[in-house]
Each structure stands twice: as C-alpha cells, then as structure tokens.
Amino acid sequence: MKNLVDFKKLITMSTKTTIGWIGLGRMGIPMSKRLMNEGFRVMVYNRTKGKEAAFLGKTVSVSSSPADLITQNEVVIVMVSDDRAIQEIFTRKDGLLSAEVSGRIIINMSTVSPDISKKMATLCLRQGSQYLDAPVAGSVKQAETGTLVVMAGGEEAAFQRVKPILEHLSKLVLRVGGTGAGNNAKLAVNTLLGIMSQGLAEVVLFAQQKGIETEDLLNIIGNSAMGNVYLKIKGDAILSDNFQPAFALKHIVKDLHLASQSVLKSPLGETALKTFQEAEGEFGEEDIIAVIKQLEKEQIHSVVTAQPVRV
C-alpha cells in the first residue's frame, strides 16, 4: 500500500482547488457549470465527445480520459448513470485507477449501490487515495441553483476536506456514516420518490375517473398539509402534458431495484418497482411522472370509464 496522505494536515479546499469532473448528463452539466461560475477551475471528461463544448462553452478545459483527468486534478467528481459506468470509469485501461492517484480524493455523486462504493473505496485506499460516496437529492433545477442536498459516506477527514466544494452545489451537505452510507440514504430517499410519484399518478387518475378536474385536485393537494415542492412540479408536468425528463424514469427503476436488493425491504417500494419496470420499455427515457401514462394504459384495460359525478 502506498503512503497515505495525512488528510487532517491538509488545508480545506478553496476556489484555487482544481476539480476534475466526469459525466456531462442532465445533472453533470449544471453541476459542473455551477462550480465554474463559483470560481473553480474545472476540467471535464465525458464518454461521448462533443457534449463538453456544446454545453459548457468553447473555452472549457477537456480531458482525454479519466486517467489524464485525475493526473491533473486533486479532486475528481463523478456524476454518471449507474454501477456499470462507475466500474468502467475506475477500472478500465485508461480509468481513474490506472493513473498515479496518491493523495487524490474521488467524490462519487452518482446514485449507485453501496456495494460498488465499498469496492471502489477499497481500491482507492490501496493506491493512497480517498473515495467518498456523495449522492444528491434534488434535480436539474436544484443543480442549477446550487440547492441540492448532499448525503455523504466515507472518512470524516476526507469529507471535511471537500465539504467546502460540495457546499457550492447544495443547501445541505451531511456526512451520514462510513463508505456506502450516502448511497443507502439516497436509496431510502428515492424509494419515497418512487412511491410518491406513483401515488400522485394514481390519485390523479382516480379523481379523473370520478369526474374531478385534475387542476382542482392538484390545487386541493397543494393547499393541504400534503402540499410540497415535488408534488407541485410533477403536478404541473401532468397538467401541461410535459414529460421531458428532469429525472428519467429508467433511473428510478435502477434505484428501486438497488433498494430492493438490500436486506430491509419496503413493501410499497417493491410495488413501485414493479410498476416502473412495466413502464420502462415505453417510457424509460421520459420523466419519472410519465408513470401516469403506464397506469392509464392499465386502467383502460381494466376499467370502464366512469361518468362524472353529478349532484
């Protein structure tokens, strides 16, 4: 094992810190952009070429591989789809771990399994670097405005070192335990997200069947104790028939599946997983709330359209 850096002795990160960013998807673009706007020098890498200049401007500093990126930057943040992407970025021929990574900190903000985090953290430690899992709650809008919620797992010293960077992306940065704890917290949060999304879709369809205007129902929910930002955003999406993905439906299938593999299962989460799996083939690339279209399809098969309630 290579000599480990005494992270406690190192000063915390300032805007002078250079950051390597991997993953320019729906979240990676606004998050990396935000760090640049906040004064950090950010170098980016994305598997599919061309996205860098298209989304971040012609002057963006681009790296040719994960290995090249980590060689040039003290801190590397990864925001990609899933476990498979993480495995590849870390361990492929020109992956992060093929380079000299001693003293580096890799922050994985993707929503992935605690198992892959433990595996990558062990490999990082062997090479004298640190790994933090730090997934986020919030979506594109929160990424743009720096109001995400970060839940981190890993060594306290490494966490303290990078916390000032993460604070530029979020309104709350919390370390919830050792490696993988951030992932477990995120799976709990997204289980609720799946349940709430299916719940909203179901009650909208139920009310429609009973002749109640969707707008009226959403207005009632919004003004009740259950009103919240998420239901408002997704309610508006339903009303305007806008299923452009902020959070792609296929990602909740991945997350509910990961949650379902853990020891403590959620009965409602399992039900939501089944529904979203059924929806994925047709609506996987659309927003999570496109689940309403799947439920509607099932309803058409099973229910004769009810007449509006007349009093």
- Binding residues for ligand NAP, per CB under 6 A? 23-28, 46-48, 51, 79-81, 84-85, 88-89, 110-111, 136, 139-140, 246-247, 251
Choice between 47 and 297, CB closer to ligand NAP: 47
Tell me the residue type at 145: T
Distance CA 19, CA 104 (A): 11
Residue 37 CB, nearest approach to ligand NAP (Å): 18
C-alpha torsion angle, residues 88, 89, 94, 98 (rounded to 10): -100
| Longest alpha-carbon distance in the chain | 78
Choice between 75 and 79, CB closer to ligand NAP: 79
The two three-digit tokens of residue 137, written as one number: 């709650």
Tell me the residue type at 263: V
Choice between 8 and 49, CB closer to ligand NAP: 49
Residue 227 CB, nearest approach to ligand NAP (Å): 21
**Residues counted in the chain:** 311
Residue 23 CB, nearest approach to ligand NAP (Å): 4
Q: Which residue is nearest to ligand NAP (CB)?
A: 25
Distance CA 231, CA 237 (A): 10
Choice between 253 and 295, CB closer to ligand NAP: 253
Choice between 166 and 205, CB closer to ligand NAP: 166
Cβ distance 216 to 186 under 8 Å?
no
Residue 127 CB, nearest approach to ligand NAP (Å): 20
Residue 74 CB, nearest approach to ligand NAP (Å): 22
Burial of 244 by CB count in 10 Å (0-12 exposed, 13-18 middle, 19+ buried)?
Answer: exposed
